Chain A
């Protein structure tokens, strides 16, 4: 596959994802605003839902099932709950805030990717603006993990106020953002070296 084709595809894909996320963000904000004001006729009652683990109750040992050929074993996950949060509540307002922050972060990340791919030119691959954007991207990915961790702490605290037993723990993955951020930062450092080599080459007579 030609690199120019891959770049064109990435340009279109990031553009599409960027505008889609803007539409989704606007839809979430409008839907939530309608729910907060109580004008949610014909809409599902709740906007925000979460998967949580519950501790402090004993539901017994889960039953083990097998496939017909006995090659696959499966069990249900005990103490796993699906939460739906009432929008017009402290948890609802907080959920709205954290959702919007995450969506905005996603929009900024996609915008940066979109700019990088639109500025990328195989004839002159190294540009200072792309290096700058790569560094910002690395930082944003790391920040997204900090947000996730803060969200985990705040959400668990607010939830514990409403329900004390079982003690719910919000299921989330923390660490991916920092790893992605570090990888992008490493790419940015290599890119910076490429940039200086390109500059040196241009100033060699």
Chain B
């Protein structure tokens, strides 16, 4: 899929673990893993909003379009 998820990069920058993020965003760790590994088929605006809020970033910092 040409959409690349840079969640691991943002987590490393914020020095935050995946489980911490899952807890703060209030979604399951397995769902967050699906997003992180690029297996997700869709992301809800509400989830994206919460992730951006917790990581203090823009959606473009998490999602990238690559050819």
A residues bordering B, Cβ < 8 Å? 199-200, 203-205
Contact = CB atoms under 8 A, between A and B. Distances in A.
17 contacts: A200-B41, A203-B34, A203-B39, A203-B41, A203-B42, A204-B40, A204-B41, A204-B42, A204-B43, A204-B44, A205-B31, A205-B32, A205-B34, A205-B35, A205-B40, A205-B42, A205-B47
Interface centre among A200, A204, A205, by most chain B C-beta atoms within 10 angstroms, is: A205
Contacts of B43: 204-205
A203 B1 CA distance: 14
A199 B39 CA distance: 11
Contacts of A204: 40-44
Contacts of B41: 199-200, 203-204
Nearest to B41: A203
A53 B62 CA distance: 77
Interface string B22-37: 0000010001101100
Contact of B27 (A200, A203, A205): A205
Contacts of A200: 41-42
A90 B32 CA distance: 69
B38 to A, nearest CB: 11
A136 B46 CA distance: 42
A126 to B, nearest CB: 15
A124 to B, nearest CB: 16
B57 to A, nearest CB: 17
Given A203-B41, A204-B43, A205-B43, 13 more contacts: A200-B41, A200-B42, A203-B34, A203-B39, A203-B40, A203-B42, A204-B41, A205-B27, A205-B31, A205-B34, A205-B40, A205-B42, A205-B47
